Amino acid sequence: MSDVLASIKFDADGFMEDAKQWNKEVAAALAAKEGITLTERHWVVLDYCRKEYEAKGEAPTLRNITKNTDVGTKELYELFPGGPGKLAAKIAGLKKPTGCI
Amino acid sequence: MKTFLILGGGTAGTMMAVKMSKKLDPRQWKIIVVDQEPSHVYQPGLLFLPFGVYQPQDVLKERRSFLPRSVEYIETPIERIEPEANRVVLGKDQRVIGYDYLVIATGATIRPQETEGLMDGGWRKNIFDFYTYDGAVALADFLKKFEGGKVVVSVAEMPIKCPVAPLEFIFLADWYFAKRGIRNKVDLILATPLPGAFTKPKASAMLGSLMEKKHIHVEPDFAIMEVDSGSNAIRSYDGREVPYDLLVSIPVNMGAEVIENSEMGDDLYFVPTDKETLQSKKYENIWVLGDAANIPASKAGAVVHFQMEPAVENILAHMQGKPMHAKFDGHANCYIETGYNKAALIDFNYEVEPLPGKYPLPLVGPFSLLQESVINHWGKLAFRFMYWNMLLRDIPLPVSNHMSMVGKKLN
Ligand SMILES: Cc1cc2nc3c(=O)[nH]c(=O)nc-3n(C[C@H](O)[C@H](O)[C@H](O)COP(=O)(O)OP(=O)(O)OC[C@H]3O[C@@H](n4cnc5c(N)ncnc54)[C@H](O)[C@@H]3O)c2cc1C
């Protein structure tokens, strides 16, 4: 594990427990762990996730992200392969999104 | 005269009208219900229509007959809510109704147009939904003639009404094709955006192993990008393709269009609502019940039932200027039809996931939680009788509003 992440607490699924410990360096290290190199387009999503989290206390849904940024669903899957909702939240240092039932 | 206005006369709107007509003084209050459809649909019954278990008359009844005579019923589309002005504009003659208190119970509807290609060439030919009455009836006709092939059940996006209904559909399909002697000619596939059969870990494990036992293939984390009616395949954003001969789609579920037009909803047009008091987060004389609310509970009739008492208590307290103490705890329970006249039952709330055990008479049962049994199946079928004759008529059911841990096994 790289040094930037050494002092950070994670939950069982690898989500940061304290969103305040997050910064851009941490994001890059978290992304690297997932095999992702952050680009400008990633940052559009990550910045939006942080902003929403600060306003509402929750990570935004995919639908919310695509509605309020210029990133479409297809691009989201390219940027964050697998599960963009969870991955973006993870790299943005947010709690695991609560799945709906 | 003051006006207590209820929008939507489905499960929640009807129950609210019946309850409030007993509580409010008719010399002071007028209760009005508005709905656009003459028939009340017993939606849990839609699951059984495609397999010929229920007939149309089992699931459709005249809406007016469930509303108390003292309640005024207006049948017209609701066009717009104007909460700042405490009034609602109706479609017929643009009639405007002012209200003192408003209950929004306009439910959730499917939006097939949200998924690329879903309504192209194959819609209602070899692509069906069963979340609408018309869809379920059309699917029943198709299934009678179906001789085998790939049957794909595709869930577009969560949340959906009754989140276990797609699983139940596929379990019943397994049984239905076996009865017709063609199960060996049918592949059953569930393409779901969830990481497994269901959201909650213990229930997902139980249901997942049941799928395996019944030779139903699960395609997990499948975020549907498009339906290709030309080559009969669905594709996901991450590049997977699943071919089908029959596609049974659970399209995106959203709040009613009137919520969208009134700009009162979230991204899916569900109304921001306090999850405990069930009061609108923005307007203090508005309550939101049932599927229309954005609370993190299941969208299910059973949930509406458990919401009703705390909601009514809070509304009455609010009318008298008293503090609101009643809390909805997210309680939900649902029977899960598993085919062969068996069903499983799950019971959970905001905090506690479904656990194995017995319900609702702790320790003796009769219903087994998270386990298949014949008695559970009778419970599910009995629910139709209870719905029409007890639930909608405000005759108490023998279950508690708050979830109980008695009878549940934690590990
Ligand atoms: C296939 C299926 C299976 C299900 N199985 C189960 C189950 O096993 N157990 C369970 O507990 N729940 C089940 N449910 C869910 C259950 O049916 C719903 O959660 C419940 O009916 C919600 O009640 P409601 O009053 O919120 O909405 P609804 O009952 O849908 O009522 C909404 C009403 O609002 C009216 N309306 C909407 N917009 C307007 C407008 N603009 N103008 C006028 N009227 C309008 C509609 O016509 C409708 O009558 C199932 C649902 C489906 C689709």
Pick from B106, B109, B298 the residue to mutate for probing ligand 1's pocket: most ligand atoms within 8 Å of its CB: B106
Length of chain B as a residue count:
411
Mean pLDDT is lowest, of A75-79, B8-12, B387-391, for B387-391
Considering the domain boundaries, does residue A46 fall inside one? yes
Mean pLDDT is lowest, of A64-68, B9-13, B231-235, B397-401, for B397-401
How far apart CA B297 and CA B15 sit, in angstroms, is 19
* Average confidence score pLDDT of chain B: 92
Phi, psi angle pair for A9, to nearest 5°: -95, 135
Does the pLDDT of residue B359 top 90, yes or no?
Answer: no
pLDDT band at B360 (very low <50, low <70, confident <90, very high): low
- CATH number at A20 reads 1.10.10
Considering the domain boundaries, does residue A25 fall inside one? yes
Could you report the per-residue pLDDT of B180-233, keeping only the tens digit for each?
Answer: 999 999 999 999 998 888 877 788 888 889 999 999 999 998 999 999 999 999
The residues near B409 (Cβ < 8 Å, ≥ 6 apart) are B355, B356, B357
Considering the domain boundaries, does residue A77 fall inside one? yes
Does the pLDDT of residue A101 top 50, yes or no?
Answer: no
Q: How far is the CA of A51 from the centre of ligand 1 (A)?
A: 34
Residue B335's pLDDT is: 85
Residue B227 Cα, gap to closest chain A Cα (Å): 15
- CB of B202 within 8 Å of a chain A CB? The answer is no
Q: Which residue has the higher pLDDT, B162 or B371?
A: B162
How far apart CA B376 and CA B367 sit, in angstroms, is 6
Which atom in ligand 1 lies closest to the alpha carbon of residue B290? Answer: 26
Q: Which of A67, A73, A100 sits opposite B237 (nearest CB)?
A: A73
How far apart CA B108 and CA B291 sit, in angstroms, is 6
- CB of B229 within 8 Å of a chain A CB? The answer is no
Mean pLDDT of B240-261: 97
Could you report the per-residue pLDDT of B117-141, keeping only the tens digit for each?
Answer: 999 999 999 999 999 999 999 999 9
Q: Whose CA is nearest to atom 19 of ligand 1?
A: B300
Residue A28's pLDDT is: 96
Residue B238 Cα, gap to closest chain A Cα (Å): 6
Considering the domain boundaries, does residue A13 fall inside one? yes
Could you report the per-residue pLDDT of B137-157, keeping only the tens digit for each?
Answer: 999 999 999 999 999 999 999
Evaluate: CB of B214 within 6 angstroms of ligand 1.
Answer: no
Evaluate: CB of B357 within 6 angstroms of ligand 1.
Answer: no
The total number of structural domains in chain A stands at 1
Does the pLDDT of residue B32 top 70, yes or no?
Answer: yes
Q: Are B233 and B242 in contact (CB under 8 A)?
A: yes
Mean pLDDT of B10-20: 98
Pairing of strands B186-191, B246-250: unpaired
Pairing of strands B342-348, B332-339: antiparallel
Considering the domain boundaries, does residue A96 fall inside one? no
Residue B277's pLDDT is: 98
Phi, psi angle pair for A50, to nearest 5°: -60, -45
Could you report the per-residue pLDDT of A33-48, keeping only the tens digit for each?
Answer: 999 999 999 999 999 9
Evaluate: CB of B9 within 6 angstroms of ligand 1.
Answer: yes
How far apart CA A42 and CA A79 sit, in angstroms, is 6
- CB of A74 within 8 Å of a chain B CB? The answer is yes
pLDDT band at B410 (very low <50, low <70, confident <90, very high): low
Residue A75 Cα, gap to closest chain B Cα (Å): 9
Does the pLDDT of residue A56 top 90, yes or no?
Answer: no
Note the ipTM here: 0.79
Catalytic residues of A: 100
- CB of B329 within 8 Å of a chain A CB? The answer is no
- Going along chain B from its start, the domains and CATH numbers come out as 2-107+256-319 (3.50.50.60), 115-252 (3.50.50.60), 332-391 (no CATH)
How far apart CA B79 and CA B365 sit, in angstroms, is 47
Does the pLDDT of residue B82 top 90, yes or no?
Answer: yes
Q: Exposure of B124 by Cβ count < 10 A (0-12 exposed, 13-18 middle, 19+ buried)?
A: middle
What residues make up the domain containing A54?
3-91
- CB of A101 within 8 Å of a chain B CB? The answer is yes
Considering the domain boundaries, does residue A36 fall inside one? yes
